[in-house]
Amino acid sequence: MQNAIYLDPTRPTAERVDDLINHMTLEEKVAQMQYGAPAIERLGLPAYNWWNECLHGVGRAGIATVFPQAIGMAASWDVDLIQRVADAIGNEGRAKHHESVRQGIHDIYTGLTFWTPNVNIFRDPRWGRGQETYGEDPYLTARIGVTFVRGLQGSHHRYLKVAACAKHFAVHSGPESERHEFDAVVGERDLRDTYLFAFEALVREGQVEAVMGAYNRTNGEACCASPTLLQKILREEWGFSGHVVSDCWAIADIHANHKLVATPEEAAALAVKAGCDLECGSTYPALVEAVHQNLIDEATLDVALRRLFTTRMRLGMFDPSENVPYAHIPLEVNDSRLHQSLALEMARESMVLLKNDGLILPLDKELKSIGVIGPHADWDEVLWGNYNGTPSKTVTPLEGIRAAVSLATKVTYAQGCGVTSRDTSGFDEAVELALKSDVVVMVLGLSQAVEGEEGQEEGVEKGEKSTGDRIGLDLPGVQEDLLKAIHETGVPIVLVLINGSAISINWADEHVDAILEAWYPGQAGGTAIADILFGDYNPAGRLPVTFYKSLDQLPPFRDYTMTGRTYRYMTDEPLYPFGHGLSYTQFEYSNLEITPEQIGANEIVDIYVDVTNVGSLAGDEVVQLYIRDPQSSVARPLQELKGFTRIILQPGQIQTVHFQLAVSQMSFFENGTHWLEPGKIEVMVGASSADIRLRSEFEIVGEKADVSAERVFFTDVLIE
């Protein structure tokens, strides 16, 4: 079909897509709705596999640049850097795809449709997949998610660089062991103001090309076959025009586990009619029989196919390569020096200094002896997180420390214990090493064995699977016992944490001199850790999640109401608050100004604050803007993040940060719409949700108003 309309780039996309679909048989149409879409040789249609991953680098496709895990990138609070990272990942994905096509390879993990980002809300630290998210706050999640989508998809007026996908839609955050069968029951306001906020922003602001349905039910409806989620909200209300894909084998759950229908034919028909266009799984072949049984008609399949082939057209798959600018990205961008440098920059910015008593950090590079102890100290794979690529080189914490210190400094190492093992036989060696050291760097934490996806096999010992969710919040195994044993030597300790979620390190907080949260920092993690420990980089990461003291501070895992959860609703004092992070310098806030003091609906309030570096070192500060509505007629968060920016200041330097806050951002969802009420709004500016430096207020005047049509998602930030 050399002269086929669908191959003519001068024709309108809709016309090209209809031409292609009109030439297909029923069986061919159904086959194209599966993630491994086969070739149709008589139509000149090549095979295409829709399944690809790029959570923090192109995943599962050989050598690629491995950036910090998503939760670590979120801890940078640096959207400009995150967009550069996403742009780099998109470039690597494009280059890898075209190399695969040149070699005639159309397998899984070679396509241009990437099932990233994960914008679920990390509502409970027990959830094993929370590491894949941008944390617990809807605003931060949405802001980073939109940025990541834009970086991946590019800015061309016609073509997508790659197609991003917002997942998992919706109300999906554990338990992993029950995800194929549980029903997430959630109220209207929590659903809209917490769980759906980021998805709406990615659709409306980010123009994300795809949305992935979740495994679970939400309020009784299977997410991958939910008329409420997929039709009413996503398409009718938000205007989404891209395609919807199921999570993998979630369609089978509809009949086998959720038991909403009795047969695969009914499950497949239910999903497609609700708006799920593409299946990752093996149930959609039943659509052929479903048509014969009059459970669904062929015209409805055509609707799904139009969306799918429109995406492929937007990716330039049927156009001459000279027409598609992204088709010329060279393979050399993959794992390039530029991207390796970017991975180090991202790792540095992601790390959070939780504690630094006595200013033990930064360490002196001329120390006579440094002991490095712990199961994560010289283990490369633990730094990669999940859904990862394979770096050409990984620097472990031990390697990073050895490379950073003077030639005269002796660096010794002992593992001490395993991540989850109860074996203490390595304690004696570790204690002996500590006694011969001037300072000990202990590298402890979690791993994919104790937090991950249900059934996950990557990042764990061969033949084993991840436990998925965590049972508790403490360090697993005997790691805390090892920490206590080293503490008894009296040698100063710096604790470095490698993990993807909050840990209840109460004992360490009371006894250890300094604590650095490094997350799963990717291929350059060891270098970044050393740069911070020895003062070559001044840390400025901030927590995107609350660190709780214990499970006693959390509601039941299966309770999806937000009451008592996250910094927005909890009344207890946490171990470390959302937004927390220290620096080697100090910052002062002054001159908070709000204008006007009274404002109507659909207007902008200008908030100014001066930030001064009053310390002796240059450093970054993350300026955070929170609001509270104390006069609301309905239950509202205790505080809400509504703006942030990461700035760098030299010693003595002052910068004015200007937040432009849309009043519609104060709205809440009730009875099917977003309402703005008159009353006073408290404004809080500071260095964390708990470290509020300045407070003021403004007043919304007028009548209660429906602001659904005028809603603004993000606060503009200007540096003056």
Q: Which two tokens stand for residue 14?
A: 């809709």
Residue 612 pairs in a beta bridge with 588, 654
Residues near 268 by beta carbon (within 8 Å), at least 6 away in sequence: 251, 279, 283, 284, 286, 287, 290, 296
| Backbone φ and ψ of 318, nearest 5° | -115, 15
- Phi, psi angles (nearest 5°) of residue 622: -100, 105
Peptide bond into 362 cis (omega under 30): yes
- Neighbouring residues of 390: CB distance < 8 A, sequence distance ≥ 6: 62, 63, 64, 66
Report DSSP letters for 434-503, one per residue.
HHT-SEEEEEEE--TTTSSSTT--TTS-TT-----S-S-SSPPTTHHHHHHHHHTTT--EEEEEE-SS--
Report d(CA 30, CA 220) in Å as an integer: 27
Q: How far, rounded to the nearest angstrom, does the alpha carbon of residue 358 sit from its chain's CA centroid? A: 34
Instruction: Give the three-class secondary structure for 669.
Output: strand
- String of b and e for 431-443 (b: at least 16 CB within 10 Å)? bebbeebebbbbb
Distance, in Å, from the CA atom of 45 to the CA atom of 184, rounded to the nearest integer, reads 40
CA distance 440 to 317: 55
Single out the residue of 549, 565, 558 nearest to residue 135, CA to CA: 565
Instruction: Pull the structure tokens for residue 367.
Output: 């120390």
**44 in Cβ contact with 20 (< 8 Å):** no
Contact 265, 290 (CB under 8 A): yes
457, 447 Cβ separation under 8 angstroms: no
CB 129 within 8 A of CB 467: no
CA distance linking residue 252 with residue 249, whole number of Å: 6
Q: What is the distance between the alpha carbons of residues 303 and 29, in angstroms, rounded to a whole number?
A: 11
3-state secondary structure of 222: strand
Residue 378 annotated as catalytic: no
Residue with tokens 């209809």: 18
C-alpha–C-alpha distance, residues 458 and 450, integer Å: 12
**Residue corresponding to tokens 């429906």:** 706
Angle at 541 between CA 538 and CA 543, to 5 degrees: 150
- Residue in the structure block whose two tokens are 């991958």: 224
Pairing, β 369-373 against β 410-414: parallel
| Under 8 Å between Cβ of 327 and 321 | yes
Q: Nearest-CA neighbor of 529 among 407, 376, 427, 339?
A: 376
* 8 A C-beta contact, residue 538 and residue 648: no
User: Which residues are registered as beta bridge partners of 538?
Assistant: none
| Catalytic residue selected from 78, 190, 193, 247 | 247
- DSSP E strands in 382-438: the ranges are 410-414
Helix (H), strand (E), coil (C) string for 566-612: HHHHCCCCCCECCCCCECCCCEEEEEEEEECCEECCCCEEEEEEEEE
Active site amino acids: 247
